[in-house]
Amino acid sequence: MSIPGFILRNALRNKRRLVLTLLSVTLSLFLFTMLQTALHEMTHPSQTEESSLRVIVRHKVSLGNALPQKYQTRIEHMPGVCTCMKFTWFCGIYKDPKDFFPQFAVDADKLADIFTEAQFDPQEVAAFVKDRAGCVVGIKTMERFGWKIGDRITLKGTIWPCDPELTIRGVYRGGIDETDMFFHHEYMDELCGKWSVCLNFWIRAHRAEDIPGLIKQIDETFANTDAETKTETERAFLLEFVSMIGNVKVLINSICSVIVFTMILVTASTMSMAIRERAREIAILKAVGYDGWQIFGLILA
């Protein structure tokens, strides 16, 4: 008998144990791979040529603090700025809290200029810009609720004291998150009583080379004001959300370490049972000339 055949015969000695061991190791490897993939996706957001041109301006203290809208005019006149758009997280409720989807108040006429990789129908964008109570919705949310262009929906405000009644004027596909909804910032301002604030400004720079200088200039311009700014790239901004839920990297790596340790224990237990069952066979192998390392290699295989 050849050595591969000998290994195969011993592996199939107890078929039930073989199946259970394979299932245990396979499940452990699956969980390990899924967790590491999720960690990589959270800590390394994908970056395209278009997203590398986007810069976000937020309040220096926290993401929840608002900025004066008057900052927008000064930012637009800075060298390197192509477009600057108000961008506010609305967080409204549609019918039931479990029906959550992201909603943002934006400058309608600048939305397509900021998210250039998304696919917008020019006619739908024109209708959206024209209708102050209009909105644009991602295709995934449209399909989720069975909406169609022209439908009217109402959002109940949770953070902001208003309940906008919106009409769907367009659908976008690709590029950015296809679950988002965008509506007029002016409409939200009107409903809230002309507060003249927003949470962020999203900027599209002319060139990637302009971004470091632009970040420095914006923060220096609004330093020592009542609302100091923190300007960062889109990738850095997205990583802020990951950091808000704690040290995810340590948590996931700890779970993965437990999975690997458990997998080692399962394998070691299987090997120990195989050694006990094959004591006579191991003795014969040693008698015919196999040394300890060769026998260990056969058992390990």
Tell me which residue of 210, 212, 214, 190 sits closest to 201, measured CA to CA. Answer: 214
- Which of 29, 34, 43, 31 is closest to 248 using CA atoms? 43
Section 64-89 average pLDDT: 93
d(CA 25, CA 265): 10
As to burial, measured by CB atoms within 10 angstroms (0-12 exposed, 13-18 middle, 19+ buried), residue 194 is: exposed
Mapped onto helix, strand or coil, the DSSP state of residue 275 is: helix
- 106 membership: H or E segment, kind and range: strand 103-106
Range with the lowest mean pLDDT among 76-80, 91-95, 194-198, 242-246? 242-246
Tokens of 273: 């049972």
Check residues 32 and 220 and name the one with the higher pLDDT: 220
- Parse the chain into domains and list their residue ranges: 3-43+248-300, 51-234
Res 242 pLDDT > 70: no
Statement: residue 171 has pLDDT above 90: yes
The closest alpha carbon to 199, from 97, 103, 95, 78, belongs to: 103
Mean pLDDT in residue range 27-50: 76
